Amino acid sequence: MNKKTITIIVGIIFLFIGSILVKQNYGEHKSHNSKQVGKTDKYAIQWTPSIQSALRKEMHSITKNYQELVSNLAQGEWNKVVENSHNIHSAFILKQELSEEDMDDLYRILPERFIEMDSKFHDHALKLAMAAQAKDGELASMYSGKMMEGCVSCHQVYAKNRFEGYSNHEKVSHEH
Ligand code: HEC
């Protein structure tokens, strides 16, 4: 009888502790998802205002050229495709006319992975230009697909705060 009582009391204590732990975990999970801090902040780049404005300008130029490129590629306008991809290639943020101070900031704030993604993206633009020069539509369209993968994979990591559609990417990939 005594032993039974002790077992029950110990059981209740465990249940109590368990429910506190569950509550704590659940609470943390909830605040992580709703505020998008923690994991997201690990990837958030601390842009300075002048670098952010240079980056946004670059993004607009890239978007315009990419849209034209897709249309020109479909029509076999090879010279225009070459021009569009060269424009994208030379819009490399590290090659922008940034002040020396901005350049120092850039090297300080950009994570290695961002630089890798960016250079891969620009490399695909160059390869697309070469394929278009060779009038190889199949190869050119493969690289245009790789470029789109570049937009998506960079935005879903580094532009979550800018694009609502990518703000919950982490969560989605965890659940599936
Ligand atoms: C290596 C990373 C990277 C790649 C590749 C990239 N972007 Fe971006 N882009 C960003 C980041 C970071 C931002 C968010 C900047 C900010 O926070 O204001 C952004 C923002 C943008 C914006 C919004 C600009 C604004 O005014 O706020 C557009 C449009 C855009 N990107 C288009 C594209 C397109 C189209 C492609 C591919 C053809 C592309 N980007 C490829 C990193 C990238």
Residue identifier of the C-alpha nearest atom 32 of ligand 1: 59
- Tell me the average pLDDT of the chain: 81
134 token code pair = 């060779």
Sign of CA pseudo-dihedral 111, 176, 18, 27: positive
Cβ 70 vs Cβ 95: under 8 Å: no
Which of the two residues, 10 and 36, has the higher pLDDT score? 10
Find the mean pLDDT for residues 118-137: 96
Quick one: what percent of the chain has pLDDT higher than 70?
70
Cβ 104 vs Cβ 85: under 8 Å: no
Ligand 1, residues at Cβ distance < 6 Å: 52, 55-56, 59, 62-63, 66, 114, 117-118, 121, 147, 150-151, 154-155, 158-159, 162
Would the pLDDT of 26 be above 70? no
**Nearest 5°: phi and psi at 87?**
-60, -40
